[in-house]
Amino acid sequence: AIGYVTNKGWLDPDPKVTFTKVLDGYHRLEGMLGGPPDKLIRIPEPNAAPADLDAFWSRFGAVKEAKDFDFSGIKNARGEALDPKLAAAIAASAIASRAPKDTVLAVTAAMQKHLDGIDAEQTAIVTARRDEQTAALKKNWGNNYESNMFDAKRTFAKWATAAGMDEAKATE
């Protein structure tokens, strides 16, 4: 310790001056590290014990149990809750990777928004195709469109019922 203090140029015949210089050096070091010792986090070695890694990542918001994730605020465009199996898979993955809870929720919400966009795009494609086919059918059938549609629906309902489908479902 004396050699370290001497190499730094802090050693003085007066112990009070030496102590003051050492303390000043410590304060400068604290300023460079960004905070007091109780606010500093030591990064564990890659081969550290799992308990040490858990303690480290818990300081950043990682959780240990799936029940600690609240996905209830994440809903799809129809207002439905996140699929429970998907939520369980996300929680298990987040726990295994020690991901911070807030990050997991933000990524899950962004993923749900992306899935809603895909769903909306697919719905638009299906709707456009249906409208295109209906227009072609109306053009093809002309003035007989309504009566032909009535006959087609009635025939489909009979076939569906004969195949064992519930009549209400077949009509739908």
| Angle at 128 (CA atoms; ends 145, 119), nearest 5 degrees | 135
Residue 33 has a pLDDT of: 66
Amino acid 30: pLDDT = 73
Distance between CA atoms of residues 87 and 70, nearest Å = 9
Q: How far apart are CA 111 and CA 75, in angstroms?
A: 11
Write out residues in the chain with pLDDT < 50, as ranges: none
Report how far apart the first and last C-alpha atoms of the chain are (Å, whole number): 87
The two most distant CA atoms of the chain are separated, in Å, by: 113
pLDDT value, residue 35? 66
